[in-house]
Amino acid sequence: MIKKNIKIICTLGPSSINKKFLKFAKINGVNLLRLNMSHLSINSLKSSINFIKKNSSIPICIDTEGAQIRTKIKKKRFIRLGQKIEIGTLKGNFSLYPTSIHKKIKLNDVLSIGFDNLKVKVVSTKSKLICRAISAGKLENNKGVHVENRKINIDYLTKKDFEAIKIAKSLKIKYFALSFTNSVADIIKFNKLLSKENKIFKIETLSACKNFNEIIKHADNFLIDRGDLSKDIKIENIPIAQRDLFRIKSKRKNKNIFVATNLLESMLQNNYPTRGEANDIFNSLEMGADGLVLAAETAIGKNPIGSVEFLKKMITTFKKSKYRNY
């Protein structure tokens, strides 16, 4: 039986925190407005929430930074193959956030930075961290950093996350998402912190996928972030991981999974999506997706309204199709 209420979640950013989009979103049935703390300053949070609430009655969800390493750099640059860069000094090329991570980086660690193929290998840890690029790419601010073939334990929430949650709760926000949920322990801590609020737990690491049989017992709402997941799982295996998560979910009632990342990536620049994107959306719905998440498409894309319109069109097409979810 096809679900009647497939939810649409839109991420807000420079392209969409405006009266026109918020009015459109309400009229066109957008269910949740996401604020991504990885790309929103703590100083802007209160004013952003107040503006949204003034111009829309759609619920707001605060999406935490979570347990992810990110770059801090004043000026973006292109790093050439073989170029050496220094981590974590005032005169260095860049530093990492949270700063406590510097002490956990080891000799020969390979750091995959962002989604532009930049990879650097740690070649010295004696007096400072020195890396050499083993794959060229752009080095930009606030990009995710993945340490390959090794798991580094960091706190499940950042200092900024705790500040954001405090501000949001004071403004009566009722929805929160935990990024990089890795274990049942993360869920228990987040539930304790936000006992009365609605929570979404993001599945975007290999450990979360491996632990999903247990994780799903302790929460009801999950979001598959296929972008960051592709740092832990080879991109060609993402469809397998997604299907496996839905297979586990299909055995349990009253559990929801939303799908995010690259649903309509081409519409960041274009007015119409690719055939592959349309097929991906349909396949996700056929697997049993309870909702779809637009991220960059509505946050920074040139056509946020068109992206929502096409997503609605795909949902309508799916509901009318001869195929059914069982």
Q: 60-69, 145-154, 267-276: which has the minimum mean pLDDT?
A: 145-154
Query: 43-72, pLDDT tens digit by residue?
Result: 999 999 999 999 999 999 999 999 889 998
Query: 20-37, pLDDT tens digit by residue?
Result: 999 999 999 999 999 999
First vs last Cα of the chain: how many Å apart? 6
- State yes or no: pLDDT of 326 exceeds 50: no
268/309 Cα distance (integer angstroms): 14
User: What does pLDDT average to over the chain?
Assistant: 93
Q: How many CB atoms lie within 10 A of CB 163?
A: 13
Query: 290-308, pLDDT tens digit by residue?
Result: 999 999 999 999 999 999 9
Domains delineated in the chain: 7-67+155-320 (3.20.20.60), 69-147 (2.40.33.10)
Percent of the chain with pLDDT over 90: 79
Query: 86-109, pLDDT tens digit by residue?
Result: 887 545 558 898 888 888 999 999
- State yes or no: pLDDT of 41 exceeds 90: yes
Tokens of 186: 């993360």
91/58 Cα distance (integer angstroms): 45
Residues 6+ apart with CB under 8 A from 289: 6, 246, 257, 258, 259
Residue given tokens 């060609």 in the structure block: 236
Average pLDDT over residues 135-162: 91
- Exposed (0-12), middle (13-18) or buried (19+): which is 257, by Cβ within 10 Å? buried
Percent of the chain with pLDDT over 70: 96
183/35 Cα distance (integer angstroms): 24
- Closest C-alpha to 100, from 140, 149, 158, 148: 158
241/247 Cα distance (integer angstroms): 10
- State yes or no: pLDDT of 1 exceeds 60: no
Q: How many CB atoms lie within 10 A of CB 199?
A: 20
Spatial contact of 245 and 203, defined as CB atoms under 8 Å apart? yes
Residue given tokens 């949920």 in the structure block: 181
- Closest C-alpha to 122, from 142, 106, 104: 106
**Cα→Cα distances 197→73, 168, 214, Å:** 35, 11, 22
- Asked if omega into 239 is within 30° of 0 (cis), the reply is no
- Closest C-alpha to 174, from 153, 140, 158, 198: 198
**Alpha helices per DSSP H over the chain:** 19-27, 42-55, 159-170, 184-193, 206-210, 212-215, 226-232, 238-250, 275-287, 296-299, 304-320
Spatial contact of 1 and 325, defined as CB atoms under 8 Å apart? yes
49/176 Cα distance (integer angstroms): 13
- State yes or no: pLDDT of 181 exceeds 50: yes
